[in-house]
Structure 1
Amino acid sequence: MLVADEQTLRQQLAACYRIFAMLGWTELIYNHITMRVPGPALHFLINPFGLHYSEVTAASLVKVDLSGAVVGESPWPVNPAGFTLHSAIHSGIADAHCVMHMHTTAGCAVACSQAGLSMDNFYAAQLHGRLAYHDFEGVTVHADEGPRVVKSIGSAQAVILRNHGLLSLGTSIPQAFSYLWTLQRACEIQVAGAGLGATLAIPESIQRKASADALQFDERYGAGADVFSALVRMVDRVDPTYRQ
């Protein structure tokens, strides 16, 4: 359920873009983090096309409809093609209020791996039953791929786009961030351990337990709000202009 007003969400989303920049989760001016705006209309906030994540502010975020068309006025353009993937997920999955997508090196490496994510580390185990895969169909600019993406995701919140990158979704920005951070950490550890020999397998029963105990995803326990708030404070100490 969306409970924050649009201005609050604008500041939170702008902070999230700055957090991605701080963590090095950027791809020049590309990729997107989108958030549904409260209200009956299916409107969403997206980054202005042409700005680096470190330049995004609350005011510069652009409101768009499901087609990617600008709602109201904005001095900034958007990348409608880049919103195609997000639009399909927002419209096809009821609780996908926030959608995050990125192309980190570790994430792309695992996405290109035939075996995918190895469920043999602390972070991967927490994603048992929460992870989905979608096969590569080329650059995600074609609307007809949307229903297949939604079908691939099913009830998952963390997604590996084969040969492409990582994606997460959630009812809030902090929750979606928690899923993406956990997936990214799992990928980093897998890539860092490559070449060290066989890994220790985690029994599926333990994976299920680890996933059930991963309270950072659970709305009853804040759904990652405490961690996200700590990162926002870090951004504030460096450059609070995202609030403008």
Structure 2
Amino acid sequence: SMYCVRSRLLRVKCFGILSQTRPNQRPTDLLAANFKRSRSNMVQTDIEPPSEAQVRLDLAAAFRFVVHERMNEGIANHFSYQIESKAEGHSRNAMIVNPFGTHFANVTASKLAKIDIDDETLYRFDPTSPPPPVDPTAICIHGAIHKLLGRRARCILHLHPHYATALSSLKDPKLLPIDQNTARFFNRLSYDDGFDGMGLGDEAERLATRIGENSAIILGNHGVLVIGESIGGALDEMYYLELAARNYMTALMSGKELSILSDECAEKTAQQWDAQNQVYAPQFIAQIRELLHKKEPEYKD
């Protein structure tokens, strides 16, 4: 698959860089120095996007993984991938997203909906009519962000995971660098404090502006949203954001003084994350697919 090719290319690049390691030089420092830093899942402009079939497999795998990690919430929250873009020469703007009313554990590749983002009839919700094919809030937020941010937001994940949502509910939700997971997001996490109910208004435009150059944003009193060019990269970012929030909130609950890393150490650690994620993210989603192939093979249906 394209992700396997991408993974192999990145490994070759990393091994070539690591062969230049000098005595007393850490390999991760060399990687961080050689990879151009990007805050949106290391956009690879020389790599063609995956096929629709691959997108469906990876997105279905992402839904199933989130269930295993207990990061989902009822039949709410949404993952989407823009499969067609007018900005890239397609005739329409279309995305693949979870259908209305489907629990993440029941998502399969074929159940995922493919919709025209510009179809205004999908933006309306009428309780007296049959259920819509896709939750209008997903179209309002995801559809608009896909179009506003383009390729760097090809994949959008939105969740209300336990610890990250608890963090978003604090008066000061800033995630401080107290370990390597929290340091991953040092100067790489955006914040929004404009929660005003369900996202059926201009929330998407605000979030697209607030996220800036980063790939993750804490939605005040709401949850989190992550963008990325690839599904694997976005899922890896979402997963570690929840782990980082868990570590941070648990430390806060101890009531003891936090041992906060220096800015220099936190930035160095974040750059090391930036470098290794280019290799880890494609492998991460590949391993999830392999596990599901053994335990829940129906995800591919």
Q: Which runs of 5+ in 2 are unaligned?
A: 1-44, 123-130
Residue 234 of structure 2 is aligned to residue 176 of structure 1: yes
TM-score when scaled to structure 2? Answer: 0.74
Counterpart-to-counterpart distance in 1, 2:61 and 2:288: 9
Question: What secondary structure, in the 3-state scheme, does the structure 1 residue paired with 2:146 have?
Answer: helix
Residue 137 of structure 2 is aligned to residue 86 of structure 1: no
Counterpart-to-counterpart distance in 2, 1:98 and 1:140: 21
AA matched with 2:105: S
Counterpart-to-counterpart distance in 1, 2:258 and 2:118: 45
- 1:132 equivalent in structure 2: 190
Counterpart-to-counterpart distance in 2, 1:91 and 1:31: 19
**CA-CA distance at 1:120 after TM superposition:** 1.9
Counterpart-to-counterpart distance in 1, 2:297 and 2:238: 24
AA matched with 1:81: T
- 2:104 equivalent in structure 1: 53
AA matched with 1:100: L
Residue 274 of structure 2 is aligned to residue 201 of structure 1: no
Residue 124 of structure 2 is aligned to residue 65 of structure 1: no
AA matched with 1:162: G
Q: Give deviations 1:29-67, integer Å, cap 9, x for gaps.
A: 000000111562321001011111011111111011224
- 1:211 equivalent in structure 2: 270
Q: Which has the higher contact order (CA 8 A, sep 6+)?
A: 2
AA matched with 2:285: F
Residue 12 of structure 2 is aligned to residue 12 of structure 1: no
Q: Give deviations 1:93-143, integer Å, cap 9, x for gaps.
A: 121000001111111110011221222222111112221011132234233
Among 142, 153, 169, the alignment partner of 1:112 is 169
Tell me how large the CA RMSD over aligned residues is: 1.9
Conserved 8 A contact 1:133-1:160? yes
Counterpart-to-counterpart distance in 2, 1:13 and 1:129: 28
Question: What secondary structure, in the 3-state scheme, does the structure 2 residue paired with 1:213 have?
Answer: helix
Q: Which runs of 5+ in 1 are unaligned?
A: none
**CA-CA distance at 1:201 after TM superposition:** 1.0
Q: Identity, % of aligned pairs? A: 26
More deviation in 131-140 or 21-30? 131-140
Conserved 8 A contact 1:136-1:164? no
Q: How many aligned positions are there? A: 237
TM-score when scaled to structure 1? Answer: 0.90
AA matched with 1:206: C
Question: What secondary structure, in the 3-state scheme, does the structure 2 residue paired with 1:11 have?
Answer: helix
Conserved 8 A contact 2:58-2:285? no
**CA-CA distance at 1:216 after TM superposition:** 4.1
AA matched with 2:196: G
- 1:77 equivalent in structure 2: 133
AA matched with 1:201: I
More deviation in 170-179 or 86-95? 86-95
